[in-house]
Amino acid sequence: MKAEAWVFGFLAVFFLVVAPSYWFLSSDPTGTAALVMSFFLAVLVAFYLGFHAKKMDPRPEDRKEAEIVDGAGELGFFPPYSWWPLWCACALTLCVLGVVFGWWLALVGVGAGSVALIGWVFEYYRGEHAH
């Protein structure tokens, strides 16, 4: 995670240089505030990744003498296809449209969203992909 920490560190330095330049050239408080907050966010992520990189064993991509073979093996759990994110998005669409057209539609969206979210959370407890 050292590489990622360095990337966010360079990004923080970039925002640190750009924010005052932007302020002096445009006098725009909104954009300057966004750049300052982006700087703090990049510092936060860089600190977190750098802090945990010291505690972890180096990954193959963090070692200069690593071979391609060192990165072989299981990379993690990647879920198969799922229809639940589609239904969650449709329910969120109903909620947003409910704010525009009528609160009754938002309530329908909340009900449908509850069902879709529960289905998404518990999809590995039932059916074809049950554990």
**Cα separation of 18 and 30, whole Å?**
14
**Domain identity same for 67 and 88:** no
Do the domain assignments include residue 37? yes
Give the domain range for residue 96. Answer: 84-129
- On the 0-12 / 13-18 / 19+ scale of CB atoms within 10 A, 103 is exposed
**Domain identity same for 103 and 51:** no
Provide CB contacts within 8 A for 46, sequence distance 6+: 5, 6, 8, 9, 11, 12
pLDDT, average across residues 59-75:
81
Domain count, the chain: 2
Structure confidence at residue 129 as a pLDDT band (50, 70, 90) = low
**Cα separation of 18 and 11, whole Å?**
10
**Domain identity same for 32 and 64:** yes
Q: What is the DSSP letter of 83?
A: S
**Domain identity same for 12 and 64:** yes
**Domain identity same for 125 and 89:** yes
Do the domain assignments include residue 21? yes
**Domain identity same for 16 and 63:** yes
**Domain identity same for 48 and 23:** yes
**Domain identity same for 54 and 97:** no
Structure confidence at residue 127 as a pLDDT band (50, 70, 90) = low
Q: Please indicate, yes or no, whether the overall pTM of this predicted structure exceeds 0.75.
A: no
Provide CB contacts within 8 A for 124, sequence distance 6+: 79, 130, 131
**Domain identity same for 96 and 125:** yes
Q: With 70 as the cut, is the pLDDT of residue 113 above it?
A: yes
Q: Considering only 30-39, 70-79, 116-125, which range has the smallest mean pLDDT?
A: 70-79
